[in-house]
């Protein structure tokens, strides 16, 4: 079945640093989504991407839909302590609208 490889699995950074994480797939997706999940909560949608090559920002967050449709990255600039959490990428092809999730990137920010 379809799989998403998300990396890195975890990051420990200093407050103020920039962060980058990415997802790759062996198959094509027509939608890429990035979510953030905090402990004991459901994922919250950060950015949605619908076109190959699309670059979208949401505050300090920027995400891009890869030209090949098989990858996406998420950048966080000038990280702050409240950025702590697990970030998931998710992709959707045309198969019934189901989302395929990456393994998650756990972000820790040291003040």
Partner 1 sequence: GAVVSQHPSRVICKSGTSVKIECRSLDFQATTMFWYRQFPKKSLMLMATSNEGSKATYEQGVEKDKFLINHASLTLSTLTVTSAHPEDSSFYICSARAPSGTGGWAEAFFGQGTRLTVV
Dihedral pair phi/psi, residue 81, rounded to 5°: -55, -35
Q: Is 85 in the site for partner 1 (CB under 8 A)?
A: no
Q: Which residues are CB-neighbours of 13 under 8 A, at least 6 positions away?
A: 19, 79, 107, 108, 109, 110
Q: Contact region for partner 1 (CB under 8 A) — 14-22, 33-41, 54-62, 65-73?
A: 33-41
Q: Is 108 in the site for partner 1 (CB under 8 A)?
A: no
Q: Is 32 in the site for partner 1 (CB under 8 A)?
A: no
Question: Which residue, 59 or 96, is less far from partner 1 as judged by CB?
Answer: 96
CB of 21 vs partner 1, minimal distance in Å? 14
Q: Is 41 in the site for partner 1 (CB under 8 A)?
A: yes
Q: Is 104 in the site for partner 1 (CB under 8 A)?
A: yes
Q: Contact region for partner 1 (CB under 8 A) — 22-30, 52-60, 63-71, 94-102?
A: 94-102
Which positions from 45 through 74 interact with partner 1, judged by CB under 8 A?
45, 48
């Amino acid at each position: 079945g379809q799989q998403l490889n998300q990396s890195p699995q975890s990051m420990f950074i200093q407050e103020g640093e920039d962060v980058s994480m990415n997802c790759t797939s062996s198959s094509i997706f027509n939608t890429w989504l990035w979510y953030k999940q905090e402990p004991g909560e459901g994922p919250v949608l950060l950015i949605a991407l619908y076109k190959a090559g699309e670059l979208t920002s949401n505050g300090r967050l920027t995400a891009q839909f890869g030209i090949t449709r098989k990858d996406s990255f998420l950048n966080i600039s000038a990280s702050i302590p409240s950025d702590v959490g697990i970030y998931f990428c998710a992709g959707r092809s045309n198969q019934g609208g189901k989302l395929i999730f990456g393994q998650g990137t756990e972000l820790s920010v040291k003040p």
